[in-house]
Amino acid sequence: MTPEPSDFPTVADQVAERHSYDVVVIGAGGAGLRAAIAAREAGQRTAIVCKSLFGKAHTVMAEGGIAASMGNVNTKDNWQVHFRDTMRGGKFLNNVRMAELHAKEAPDRVWELETYGALFDRTKQGRISQRNFGGHEYPRLAHVGDRTGLELIRTLQQKVVSLQQEDFREYGDYEARIRVFHECAITELFKAGSDLDSPISGAFGYWRETGSFIAFEAPAVILATGGIGKSFKVTSNSWEYTGDGHALALRAGATLLNMEFVQFHPTGMVWPPSVKGILVTESVRGDGGVLRNSEGKRFMFSYIPDVFRAQYAETEEEGDRWYTDPDNNKRPPELLPRDEVARAINSEVKAGRGSPAGGVFLDVSTRLKAEDIIKKLPSMHHQFKELADVDITKEPMEVGPTCHYVMGGVEVDPDSAQSRVRGLYAAGEVAGGMHGSNRLGGNSLSDLLVFGKRAGDHAARYAHSVRNFRAAVTDAQIESATRAALAPFLIEERPNLARENAYTIHAELQQTMNDLVGIIRKADEIELALKKLDELRQRAAVATVVGGREFNPGWHLSIDLQNMLLISECIAQAALAREESRGGHTRDDFPGMNPEWRKFNLVLALESPAGLRDTQSGVNLFKQAVPAMRPDLLELFDPNELKKYLTEAELPASIAVAASAVPADQSQRG
């Protein structure tokens, strides 16, 4: 169809609609909605801006549950145990304060959802039921079958609607104090000045439907944009996961942390090819599913690393007894943290013991009755039946690792979720630190709620405190942002350049990251990836768009592609710099975990924030010391366990002495 004349853009005649809010939340998944609810309940006028329709955010994909030590199934559970599990899962690189706050506040955040109308599965006593998951010592995940994310997103969505109903009763306007701008993408953040220290003043974006522009004036902006998985070929992530928040933060002068840590979920579908990467929930293993190789062997027993040996069963018999008698048996190694299981599957396939489609077998059919499988894992049953013609009540699934989550993200203050830029907050997957080098299953949904609420509360407080000193967004800022957003259209006016297609560049980027910066990494391969990223960045700068501006996915992709390229560069640079293997970062050339490296976070910043466009990456990387753990938190661990993670010098004198006094066979219980 020929576009109508009005579809052809020029910068001069673009007028952006303008809005003024106290708090603007970018992203409408669990973290974004929880933040918006908090900001609005604190009395601030709040906007929620999201790329997809309201209620479609990636949170709906979460399956297994929300980790919170409510102790409904095993009363021994408490926040200290949850904290300890989280630190172990992250291989002690977690931001300790975040892990502490998360473990302490998660139960309240879950209970609160019931007051919004959530309906979790119940225990016999009528409390919220909790299930086992990898790395969690006790049954800890509140869940609704295997569609917990859907319940979370719908509950929060309906809470937002209920706040709008309040506004309607009070003001006759549903959107008086909280409005959702859906199918609206943010391309830029505004600051009150060009200094690194200047505070945030607003945000700029476009409506996907019409392609027209929109500017927000706001002293507080909360990033809740999720992750980066769409830079990888095999991924469980949706199209939205293009690292927008990560890139926006960098360009605004904030820093990113731990970007080398990318979680490959051990169990994604591997067949048919078109669904490769779609998630198979960890609940399959939590509820009894086992992993086998082509020889029928439960291979995970051969992959228990030294640091976890004390907590995992050594025989199949003991592992099986654990499901019914967890107090007197150790858990099966299928429930090791995700990084361990993903690496093990990778090794089995490489050793020629994989399944026909290049994965391994995940079998629940011989472990549970068909009716229980359908009840506990309904969407897995549905998904395999519809997409792969596999009946999981009768036969095993074929699974393999899939890019699932980025532990790295915006560096934030643990208590307030504020980045280095005043007025800019980040919560959920886009924030870094909480999960260290590897996230435990179930800790994501709780992270969204705990830090979503904190970001919302603190952003609201900050917005209120500066209400009389709000910086205006200038026409020049809007014009410059408009020009940048329209660049892919304007390129076509330069006829001598070779035509590039954003879809092709995206596919090459995904292949590059998958092959060269994937689950197992090597220096020479990462260097090759960095070269390729350089080339792709130059080609992306001249990628052209066909068609007009109304709902044009080609245009949207060419804007998202810039974010993906920038963030991929960050991941590759950090992956090259960290010369050890830890959590979601495995170096073939540096296979061990090195306590010296645990002392450092890798931090990324732009040389000249706000100036970044097109062909120069300008990414700077530096090492930053990890804050020390408080003594009372250190005491939660067995001294011998600490010695496996910390350097001799980091161990407090008392612990160092105690550790040498404890006989080895009595250590590490618990």
Partner 1 sequence: MGYEAKFRVWRGTVRAGHLKNYSVEVNDGEVVLDIIHRIQATQAGDLAVRWNCKAGKCGSCSAEINGRPRLLCMTRMSTFSKSEVITVTPLRTFPVIRDLVTDVSYNYEKAREIPAFAPPEGVAPGEYRMAQVDVERSQEFRKCIECFLCNNVCHVIRDHEDNKQNFAGPRYLMRIAELDMHPLDAIDRQKQAQEEHGLGYCNITKCCTEVCPEHIKITDNALIPMKERVVDRKFDPVVWLGSKIGLAKGSGRDKAPVIKP
Which of 89-97, 146-154, 285-293, 301-309 is the region at the interface with partner 1 (rule: CB under 8 A)?
146-154
Residue 323 sits in the site that holds partner 1 (CB under 8 A): no
Which of 32-40, 49-57, 291-299, 517-525 is the region at the interface with partner 1 (rule: CB under 8 A)?
49-57
Residue 511 sits in the site that holds partner 1 (CB under 8 A): no
Residue 302 sits in the site that holds partner 1 (CB under 8 A): no
Euclidean distance between CA atoms 363 and 375, whole angstroms: 16
The alpha carbon of residue 626 and the mean position of all alpha carbons in its chain are separated, in whole angstroms, by 21
Euclidean distance between CA atoms 40 and 159, whole angstroms: 11
Encode burial over 124-137: b for 16+ CB neighbours within 10 A, e otherwise. eeeebbbbbbbbbb
Catalytic residue among 34, 182, 251, 265: 265
Residue 490 sits in the site that holds partner 1 (CB under 8 A): no
Task: Compute the least distance from the CB of residue 496 to partner 1, in Å.
Answer: 21
Residue 108 sits in the site that holds partner 1 (CB under 8 A): yes
Which CA distances in Å does 479 have to 17, 187, 482, 484?
Answer: 12, 13, 5, 9
Of 45, 147, 251, 330, which lies in the binding site for partner 1, with binding defined by CB under 8 A?
Answer: 147
Annotated catalytic, 285?
Answer: yes
Helix (H) or strand (E) holding 625: strand 619-625
Task: Compute the least distance from the CB of residue 547 to partner 1, in Å.
Answer: 3
Residue 279 sits in the site that holds partner 1 (CB under 8 A): yes
Residue 271 sits in the site that holds partner 1 (CB under 8 A): yes
Of 119, 351, 628, 657, which lies in the binding site for partner 1, with binding defined by CB under 8 A?
Answer: 119
* 8 A C-beta contact, residue 67 and residue 443: yes
Closest CA relative to residue 392, chosen from 363, 434, 422: 363
Which of 51-59, 86-94, 462-470, 622-630 is the region at the interface with partner 1 (rule: CB under 8 A)?
51-59
Annotated catalytic, 464?
Answer: no
From residue 334 to residue 373, what is the string marking binding to partner 1 with x (rule CB under 8 A)? ----------------------------------------
Residue 503 sits in the site that holds partner 1 (CB under 8 A): yes
Give residues 4-43 in contact with partner 1 (rule: CB under 8 A).
4
Euclidean distance between CA atoms 404 and 136, whole angstroms: 19
User: With respect to partner 1, which residue has the nearer C-beta, 472 or 507?
Assistant: 507
Residue 352 structure tokens: 């020629």
Of 78, 239, 534, 616, which lies in the binding site for partner 1, with binding defined by CB under 8 A?
Answer: 239
User: With respect to partner 1, which residue has the nearer C-beta, 490 or 621?
Assistant: 490
Helix (H) or strand (E) holding 399: strand 397-406
Task: Compute the least distance from the CB of residue 180 to partner 1, in Å.
Answer: 8
- Going by the DSSP 8-state scheme, the letter that residue 628 receives in this structure is P
Length of the chain: 670
Catalytic residue among 154, 285, 521, 539: 285
From residue 570 to residue 609, what is the string marking binding to partner 1 with x (rule CB under 8 A)? ----------------------------------------
DSSP string, 80-115: HHHHHHHHHHTTT-S-HHHHHHHHHHHHHHHHHHHH
Euclidean distance between CA atoms 428 and 30, whole angstroms: 8
Residue 549 makes CB contacts below 8 A (sequence gap 6+) with 7, 9, 206, 210, 211, 212, 489, 555
Euclidean distance between CA atoms 434 and 571, whole angstroms: 18
Task: Compute the least distance from the CB of residue 357 to partner 1, in Å.
Answer: 10
Task: Compute the least distance from the CB of residue 360 to partner 1, in Å.
Answer: 19
Residue 11 structure tokens: 């910068």
Residue 122 sits in the site that holds partner 1 (CB under 8 A): yes
Give how many residues touch partner 1 by CB under 8 A. Answer: 74
Closest CA relative to residue 308, chosen from 278, 333, 291: 333
* 8 A C-beta contact, residue 199 and residue 3: no
Task: Compute the least distance from the CB of residue 449 to partner 1, in Å.
Answer: 13
User: Which residue in this structure is represented by tokens 């006759």?
Assistant: 172
User: With respect to partner 1, which residue has the nearer C-beta, 68 or 651?
Assistant: 68
Residue 666 sits in the site that holds partner 1 (CB under 8 A): no
Q: Give the three-state DSSP class for 260.
A: coil
Residue 292 structure tokens: 């086998």
Give residues 368-397 in contact with partner 1 (rule: CB under 8 A).
379, 382-383, 386-388
Give residues 184-223 in contact with partner 1 (rule: CB under 8 A).
209
Closest CA relative to residue 30, chosen from 458, 455, 452, 460: 452
Task: Compute the least distance from the CB of residue 331 to partner 1, in Å.
Answer: 25
Active site amino acids: 265, 285
